[in-house]
Chain A
Amino acid sequence: MMRSVLPILTVVTALVLLWYGAAISMNSKWAQDQAARAGLDLSFTELVADTWSQDRPRLPAPHQVVQELWKSTGEMALKGRAFSKRSLIFHGWITLSATMLGFVIGTGAGILLAVGIVHYRVMDMSVMPWAIASQTIPIIAIAPMIIVVLNSIGIQGLVPKAIISAYLSFFPVVVGMVKGLRSPSIDQLDLLRTYNAGTGATFWKLRLPSSMPYLFTSLKIGMAASLVGAIVGELPTGAIRGLGARMLTGSYYGQTIQIWSALIAAAILAALLVGTIGLIQRATLKRMGMQP
C-alpha cells in the first residue's frame, strides 16, 4: 500500500506545483496591467498573491478551484440545498442520469451486436465496418443533429443525451465482447463438439463466461465514454442543467473558476464510476473462482 501511495503523492505534488507556477505566468499580465493602470509597482510577492486570487483568472489556482468545488457541493449540502440550481451535486446528478441511461443502452446494444457478429458471418462482415466508421465521425458534429432530429419527433431532455452517450459507449463493448466471445481455444470448442453441444450451450457454458474479463475492461472504457457523451450532449443544446451546461455558461461569462470546478467534478465522477465497475469486476471474477 505505502509503495503505491508514495509515487502517486509525488506525481500529484509535482502537478500541483506546476499548476501554481502556470497560474503565476498566465495571470501575471492582467495583474500588471491593473497595477500599471492604478500607477502602482508590484513586488514579486504581491504579484504572486494577486495571480492566485483573481476573480476571473485565465488559469485559476488549485485552491480557488477546491474552494469553489466545496462552496457548490459540500457547503450547499450542509445548508440543505444540495439540489439547488447552483449546486454541482444537482448538475452532476443531471449528467450522471444521462450517463447511466446511455451506458445501459450502449452496453446492451454493444453486447447484442457482439453476439450477432460472433454467430453470424453476415453480421461479422457488415456490422463491424459500420461500427468503426461510426467512431470516426466527431461526436461534437453529430450531437446537435441527434438533438434536433429527436426534438422534432418530440423527444427531449434526458433521452437525446443518453443516446449520444450510448453512441460513444457501445463501441468499446462491441470490440471487447467480440474478442472475448471468440477467446475460447480450438480445443475448448472441440471438447464441446465431442459432447454434441449446440450453439446455445456453447454460448452459455463457454463463450459467455470466457468473455467476462474482456467485458469488464470494455465496461470501464465504455463508462468513461458515456460520461464524455453526456457532457458533449449538453454543450450544443444550450442546456441549463448538467456539468456540460456549467462549463458552457462558465465560458460565456468568463467564469474560469466555474469551468474548472465543473471539469474537476466531472473527473471525480468518472473516477467514481470506473472505480465502481472495478469493484464489481473484482467481486465477480472472485466469485467465478478466477485466480486472484
Chain B
Amino acid sequence: MRNSSVIEAKDLNLTFETNDGPVHALKGVTLTIDKGDFVSFIGPSGCGKTTFLRVVAALEHPTGGSITVNGMTPDEARRQRAYGYVFQAAGLYPWRTIRGNIRLPLEIMGFPKAEQEAQIDRVLDLVELRGFGKKYPWQLSGGMQQRASIARALAFDADLLLMDEPFGALDEIVRDHLNEQLLHLWGSTNKTIGFVTHSIPEAVYLSTKIVVMSPRPGRITDVIESTLPRERPLDIRDTPEFLEIAHRVREGLRAGHAYDD
C-alpha cells in the first residue's frame, strides 16, 4: 500500500502573512492520494483547494507539516517531471500553433525533435484534436482550447495530472462533454488526477474520491470514497447512488459552515 500512494500530506499548514494579519489557507490537512485515483477537491472560495494543489506542484510552500509526491518533496518531484498542471484559463500562447503550444514543455525539458513530434501526435489523439495541430488558439473554441491545454500537460507523460477548475469558464453543455472525455482519458491512461471544482455534480461524476473543504481556516471536512463504478455514462447522474453521494457532499459543505455568509 505504501508504495502505491502518490501524494501523502500530513498535518499540512500554510499561512500567508498579509497586511490584515495571517490568513490560514491550509490548516491540519492530512490526505493520501493513491495511484490511479481521481480526486476532486470541492468547497467555496478560500477553502484552500487551489492552494493544496499548488503545494503539490511546489508553486507554494507549506509553513508546517509534511507532504510527499511520489515519495519525494514537491520540488524534487517537479524536477522529475512528476506532474502536468492545467490552469483555469487555457493560457495558450497566441503566437504558437496548437502543435507549437504542446511542444513548449517538450522544448524546455529538452526532448529530442523526433520524440517531440511523436508525443504531440499521441496527445492530440488523446484529447481528440487531431487535425487541429496547425491552427492558432484564436481559431479554436474555448472548449477546444482547454483540451489543447490538457494535451500540453500530458505531453511529457507525467503520471499525475493536476487540474485547477479547468472547465470553470465553460458553459454546461461543453463542460458535460469535456467531463465525459476526461473520464475516458483517465480510464485509458491510468493517470492519477487531482481536480479542483466548484460544482457538486462535476465532482461526483468524475471522482473516485471527493475531498470536501471549508474556509477560514482552509481544512478538510469530509473525504468521500465514491461507490460508483469506473465506467460512467452521463446518465449515471440520475441514479439514486449518484444523488446520495451528491447529498453527502452537500451535507459536508454545510457542516463546514461553508455557506454561512
- Could you list which residues of chain A lie within 8 angstroms of chain B, going by C-beta atoms? 185, 187-188, 190-197, 201, 205-206, 209, 212, 288-291
B108 near A205 with CB under 8 A, answer yes
Over the window 80-97 of chain B, the binary record of Cβ atoms lying under 8 Å from chain A Cβ atoms (1 yes, 0 no) is 010111011101011111
- Chain A contacts for B88, CB-based, 8 A: 187
B107 proximal to A (CB < 8 A): yes
Among A191, A196, A205, point to the contact of B78 (Cβ < 8 A). Answer: A196
- DSSP class of A's interface residues: helix, strand, loop or mixed? helix
Query: With A and B bound together, what is the CA distance between A208 and B79 in angstroms?
Result: 25
- Chain B contacts for A190, CB-based, 8 A: 59, 85, 87
Question: Across the two chains, which residue of chain A brings its CB closest to B57?
Answer: A194
B97 near A289 with CB under 8 A, answer yes
B104 proximal to A (CB < 8 A): yes
B109 proximal to A (CB < 8 A): yes
Question: Across the two chains, which residue of chain A brings its CB closest to B97?
Answer: A289
- Chain A contacts for B84, CB-based, 8 A: 194
- In the complex, how many angstroms separate the beta carbon of A190 from the nearest chain B beta carbon? 6
- In the complex, how many angstroms separate the beta carbon of A184 from the nearest chain B beta carbon? 10
8 closest Cβ pairs, A-B complex: A288-B95, A289-B136, A194-B85, A291-B138, A197-B108, A195-B108, A195-B105, A187-B87
B85 near A191 with CB under 8 A, answer yes
Number of interface residues of B (CB under 8 A): 25
Q: Which B58-115 residues have a C-beta within 8 angstroms of A? A: 58-59, 78-79, 81, 83-85, 87-89, 91, 93-97, 104-105, 107-109
Given known A191-B85, A289-B97, contact A205–B91 (CB-CB < 8 A) = no
Which one of A196, A206, A291 has the highest number of Cβ atoms from chain B below 10 Å of its Cβ?
A196
B108 near A194 with CB under 8 A, answer no
- DSSP class of B's interface residues: helix, strand, loop or mixed? loop
Query: With A and B bound together, what is the CA distance between A190 and B54 in angstroms?
Result: 10
Query: With A and B bound together, what is the CA distance between A185 and B88 in angstroms?
Result: 13
Query: With A and B bound together, what is the CA distance between A201 and B105 in angstroms?
Result: 10
- Chain A contacts for B97, CB-based, 8 A: 289
- In the complex, how many angstroms separate the beta carbon of A193 from the nearest chain B beta carbon? 6
Query: With A and B bound together, what is the CA distance between A290 and B137 in angstroms?
Result: 9
B87 near A191 with CB under 8 A, answer yes
- In the complex, how many angstroms separate the beta carbon of B161 from the nearest chain A beta carbon? 11
A193 near B59 with CB under 8 A, answer yes
Given known A194-B57, A194-B78, A194-B83, contact A290–B95 (CB-CB < 8 A) = yes
B79 near A188 with CB under 8 A, answer no
Query: With A and B bound together, what is the CA distance between A192 and B89 in angstroms?
Result: 14
Among A187, A201, A290, point to the contact of B89 (Cβ < 8 A). Answer: A187
Among B57, B93, B105, point to the contact of A206 (Cβ < 8 A). Answer: B93
Query: With A and B bound together, what is the CA distance between A212 and B89 in angstroms?
Result: 22
Q: A194-B57, A196-B79 are in contact. List 20 more A-B contacts (CB 8 A).
A: A187-B87, A187-B88, A187-B91, A190-B59, A190-B87, A193-B58, A194-B59, A194-B84, A194-B85, A195-B104, A195-B105, A195-B108, A196-B109, A205-B104, A206-B93, A289-B95, A289-B96, A289-B97, A290-B94, A291-B94
A191 near B94 with CB under 8 A, answer no
- In the complex, how many angstroms separate the beta carbon of B243 from the nearest chain A beta carbon? 35
Query: With A and B bound together, what is the CA distance between A64 and B89 in angstroms?
Result: 61
- In the complex, how many angstroms separate the beta carbon of A185 from the nearest chain B beta carbon? 7
